[in-house]
Amino acid sequence: MKHAALDLLQTVFGYPAFRGSQADIIDHVIQGGDALVLMPTGGGKSLCYQIPAMLRNGVGVVISPLIALMQDQVDALAEVGVRAAFLNSTQTFQQALAIEQKMRKGELDLVYVAPERLMTQRCLELLEICPISLFAIDEAHCVSQWGHDFRPEYIKLSVLHERFPHVPRIALTATADQATRAEIISRLQLENALQFVSSFDRPNIRYRIVEKANGKHQLLDFLQAEHVDDAGIVYCLSRKKVEETAEFLTQNGIPALPYHAGLDIAIRTQNQARFLREDSIVMVATIAFGMGIDKPDVRFVAHLDLPKSIEGYYQETGRAGRDGAPANAWMSYGLQDVVQQRRMIDESEADENYKRLQSGKLDAMLALCETIHCRRSHLLSYFGETDSKPCGNCDVCLHPPIAFDATVVTQQLLSAIYRVDQRFAAGHVIDVLRGMDTDRIRQWRHEQISTFGIGSDRSEAEWRAILRQSIAQGYISVDYDSYNSLKLTETARPVLKGQHKVQMRRYEKPQKAQKQKRISNKDYSEADLSAGARLIFEKLRAWRMETARLHNVPAYVIFHDATLRDIATANPSSLTDLRGVSGVGEKKLATYGEQIVELVSSLN
């Protein structure tokens, strides 16, 4: 079977060899075994169920939460000659009936189904009379009630094991810490499944977190300096902020579209289609957007608000650079982000266990933001990879922050909070420390307390950085029921008594982004091409764009840039020369081979 799998990989998908643990996963599932696969975005998860579905008897059923993307996934498979279809609410009854008939006759290799559709009595009864090769549960982290993308329908998927005990199941995700992993196994009844955990490292992504001054303008500076004409995603916490940011970017010459659950579904679908099919669109979105996005040339993912957890942050940033070319993960972060996220947890209607877990996830996210060590190592450590070395490709490695002994300034801050009876918010406490003459300070006679003015040598921004880090390190909490007043925690006591030393990052004034050489996919692809190959590459891109338009699919469904680059380098003069280029399988060779050879020959 291993030989048959490799043959399919080469002839259908056009790749010369399996990567990482793909071959072992595929062989295990072909033999009828269950599997839990954790593999980073862009690591090749889909092949782990597509190839077994083609080699086993029956149709492979892929449970996917993303109705809007099923069409593109099926189109991509059709391009390489795989018999695929989907069943979802966008189809007429007659269209669905035709697909069901093909399933019963064994005329399909893969069918994509949303979990809501799968759980209907009609669909379950259909599956019981069809030959089923496997069940693939994509985005399996959606089963976790503690996770960032929880979908209640996923919990019911244990029915697959109960009703189809002899059909292998493969659950796949790009993001799951140990607790989420355990919940996936428990809820999907995968206790006997083999676990395949690949490294979470995405070395082509550069992680960068900046002090928030004016988030939208900092974002604009970043995009104008490094990502003109690049595709990217900007995440915001609220729908209102999504729309305001998209409008702001558009007004400043950057083509940006909004995406959130409050938009009309037709507008959401149209905006998503433009993002997938056009080269330079920036999508501004809530976390409602992105899961399952296969666009390979997303050059950046930016966050204007602090994500709720490292899992969410990693999942979202992982949508950048799927093609392996350099990409940026950029975030602006400030004190208000911390306050806002804490308030959302405290004011939620969830039980205390859930709030405690979410607080722990937020603490881990804050620790990543405030770390004075390599961000990539910190990320990988969170997912259990504790032996990673400094990466040399994050902001901390490239521009190491200055750490300093912050014990005294932290004591000053804690003392000031205590002296104002733990009844005031950040702004007032900082005014006291800086010795400001305000109406409120005079009203409460706080100019008479011992901590008044003891921090006058520091700016408001410096004190906000110290306060933010003190909250992140657990010395201070914010009471949202009392006008965001600052409170001391039990861990503040040993600091005040001098029994505990405090280390912090020294505040650095935010700098305007400097114009840099862009790290666009085009630059990457052309980096080592000769002048002749570069010309071929550009002509191939233009041909691909027109072909994709005619087929009404995203350009990457026809060929990835990496494949066009390899074709340009190979300079094929015949179909034989083109065969074997990575990404050119037999179906694509038959469909496009003569056009490509003719185009290349015309340039020689």
The pLDDT of residue 520 is 45
- Give residue-wise pLDDT tens across range 272-314: 989 999 889 999 999 878 776 789 999 999 999 999 999 989 9
pLDDT band at 525 (very low <50, low <70, confident <90, very high): very low
Q: Which of 147, 163, 197 is the last residue of a domain?
A: 197
The DSSP letter of residue 110 is E
Whether 535 and 489 share a structural domain: no
Check residues 296 and 526 and name the one with the higher pLDDT: 296
The three-state secondary structure class of 33 is coil
Total domains in the fold of the chain: 4
Please state the rounded mean pLDDT for residues 483-508.
94
Type of residue at 407? T
420, two tokens:
């104002």
The DSSP letter of residue 450 is T
CATH code for the domain of 375: 3.40.50.300
Q: In this prediction, what percent of the chain has a pLDDT beyond 90?
A: 74
Residue 131 lies in a domain: yes
Residue 521 lies in a domain: no
Q: How far apart are CA 353 and CA 356, in angstroms?
A: 5
CATH code for the domain of 545: 1.10.150.80
Q: Which of 379, 398, 417 is the last residue of a domain?
A: 398
Q: Does residue 378 have a pLDDT over 80?
A: yes
CATH code for the domain of 452: 1.10.10.10
Q: Which of 180, 197, 214 is the last residue of a domain?
A: 197
Using alpha carbons only, how large is the chain's radius of gyration in Å?
Answer: 27
Whether 427 and 336 share a structural domain: no
Whether 448 and 570 share a structural domain: no
Which secondary structure element, helix H or strand E, spans residue 196, and what is its range?
Answer: strand 194-197
Whether 486 and 585 share a structural domain: no
Whether 289 and 434 share a structural domain: no
Residue 523 lies in a domain: no
DSSP string across 225-288 = HH-TT-EEEEE-SSHHHHHHHHHHHHHTT--EEEE-TTS-HHHHHHHHHHHHHSSSPEEEE-TT
Residue 516 lies in a domain: no
Residue 518 lies in a domain: no
User: Using an 8 Å Cβ cutoff, are 476 and 468 in contact?
Assistant: no
Q: How far apart are CA 490 and CA 199, in angstroms?
A: 38
List the one residue out of 302, 223, 332, 273 whose CA is nearest residue 257: 273
Whether 459 and 596 share a structural domain: no
Length of the chain: 604
User: Using an 8 Å Cβ cutoff, are 303 and 139 in contact?
Assistant: no
Q: How far apart are CA 60 and CA 135, in angstroms?
A: 6
| pTM reported for the whole predicted model | 0.89
Q: How many CB atoms lie within 10 A of CB 85?
A: 24
The pLDDT of residue 517 is 52
List the one residue out of 135, 149, 217, 210 whose CA is nearest residue 183: 149
Residues 6+ apart with CB under 8 A from 490: none
Whether 343 and 459 share a structural domain: no
Check residues 147 and 531 and name the one with the higher pLDDT: 531
Whether 369 and 441 share a structural domain: no
Whether 415 and 377 share a structural domain: no
Residue 520 lies in a domain: no
Whether 86 and 143 share a structural domain: yes
Residue 228 lies in a domain: yes
User: Using an 8 Å Cβ cutoff, are 62 and 112 in contact?
Assistant: yes
User: Using an 8 Å Cβ cutoff, are 502 and 473 in contact?
Assistant: yes
Q: How far apart are CA 304 and CA 220, in angstroms?
A: 11
Mean per-residue pLDDT over the chain, rounded: 92
- Give residue-wise pLDDT tens across range 10-52: 999 999 999 999 999 999 999 999 999 999 888 899 999 999 9
Residue 55 lies in a domain: yes
Whether 500 and 584 share a structural domain: no
Domain range for 354: 205-398
CA dihedral 189, 290, 292, 561 (to 10 degrees): -150
pLDDT band at 177 (very low <50, low <70, confident <90, very high): confident
Whether 45 and 168 share a structural domain: yes
Q: How far apart are CA 232 and CA 283, in angstroms?
A: 6
